[in-house]
């Protein structure tokens, strides 16, 4: 069965909009795990616009043996309290690190790596993350010509950027983007890579993606899940996602 990792960044956004300590992403992580999800994802950024460095450590201490996935840009230098992604991973030792080519100007991640440009720089960094005992996943566009190269430079998995698929699904014309995801996943598997997926996935579009990629290892979902949880409750919403992932 495909694992669900709940991204708790949105809880930190809400907390930071008011200041103080409530709502606490640690509480959200515990609730999601109690509802049955397999793991927790965080994406700390150097500007600490949502998840902060102290959150990363507190969540690690709170979730026990559950899988912890830390996302981030490996090229972003340390800044203020942010020590850099590698230093943070060395301190926390998550099960998985997902490398993402995002920058401060991006509201959210909106493209995968170009390994023709970044592959040589990524190779030694991937080795360093692997030395921390982490599974390493690279954020990649569906249809990228570089899927196979992700394995060559040492990654264990790719995470397919599913934003274009989700947007096409909302328009009612998802077949082309869904096919691109499925073909890229097959190429990754043939290269020995595991396949994760994430971005703009929700209860409406997730089932079709999982059926198209039956060997999908993990989905990381935050924005839509917490938007739906406003109305239905977090535990109920997590269970609904798990039902979708378990369906034939």
Task: Check: CB of residue 99 under 8 Å from CB of residue 72.
Answer: yes
Provide the strand spans (E) within 105-244. 135-141, 157-161, 194-198, 218-221
For CA atoms 30, 48, 156, 3, the dihedral sign is positive
Helices 234-246 and 223-232: angle between axes, nearest 10 degrees: 120
Name the active-site residue from 50, 177, 199, 228: 199
> Is there a catalytic annotation at residue 223?
no
Instruction: Mark whether 71 is an active-site residue.
Output: yes
User: Active site includes 50?
Assistant: no
How many CB atoms are located within 10 Å of the residue 157 CB?
A: 21
71-109 burial: b if 16+ Cβ within 10 Å, else e: bbbbebeeeeebbbbbebbeebebebbbbbbbeeeeeeb
The beta strands (E) that lie in the chain are given as 3-7, 39-42, 67-72, 96-99, 135-141, 157-161, 194-198, 218-221
Q: DSSP secondary-structure letter at 82?
A: B
List Cα–Cα distances, 71 to 94, 213, 239, 243, in angstroms.
10, 22, 24, 25
Query: Of the residues 71, 159, 177, 228, which is catalytic?
Result: 71
Exactly one of 43, 67, 156, 159 is catalytic; name it: 43
State how beta strands 157-161 and 3-7 pair. unpaired
Catalytic residues, by residue number, are: 43, 71, 199
């Amino acid at each position: 069965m495909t694992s669900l990792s709940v991204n708790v960044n949105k809880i930190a956004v809400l907390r930071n909009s008011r200041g103080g300590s409530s709502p606490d992403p640690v509480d959200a992580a515990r609730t999601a795990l109690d509802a049955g999800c397999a793991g927790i994802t965080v994406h700390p950024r150097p500007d600490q616009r949502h998840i902060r460095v102290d959150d990363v450590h507190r969540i690690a201490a709170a979730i026990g043996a559950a899988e912890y996935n830390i996302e981030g840009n490996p090229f972003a230098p340390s800044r203020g309290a942010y020590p850099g992604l590698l230093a943070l991973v060395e301190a926390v030792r998550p099960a998985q690190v997902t490398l993402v080519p995002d920058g401060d100007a991006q509201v959210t991640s909106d493209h995968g790596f170009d390994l023709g440009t970044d592959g040589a720089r990524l190779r030694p960094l991937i080795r360093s993350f692997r030395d921390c005992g982490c599974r390493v996943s690279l954020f990649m566009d569906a249809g990228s010509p570089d899927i196979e190269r992700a394995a060559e430079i040492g990654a264990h998995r790719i995470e397919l950027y599913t934003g274009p698929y989700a947007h096409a699904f909302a328009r009612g014309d998802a077949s082309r983007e869904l096919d691109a995801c499925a073909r890229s996943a097959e190429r990754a598997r043939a290269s020995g890579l595991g396949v994760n997926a994430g971005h703009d996935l929700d209860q409406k579009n997730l089932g079709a993606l999982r059926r198209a990629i039956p060997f999908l290892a993990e989905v990381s979902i935050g924005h839509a899940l917490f938007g739906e949880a406003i109305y239905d409750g977090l535990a109920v919403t997590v269970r609904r996602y798990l039902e979708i992932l378990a369906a034939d």
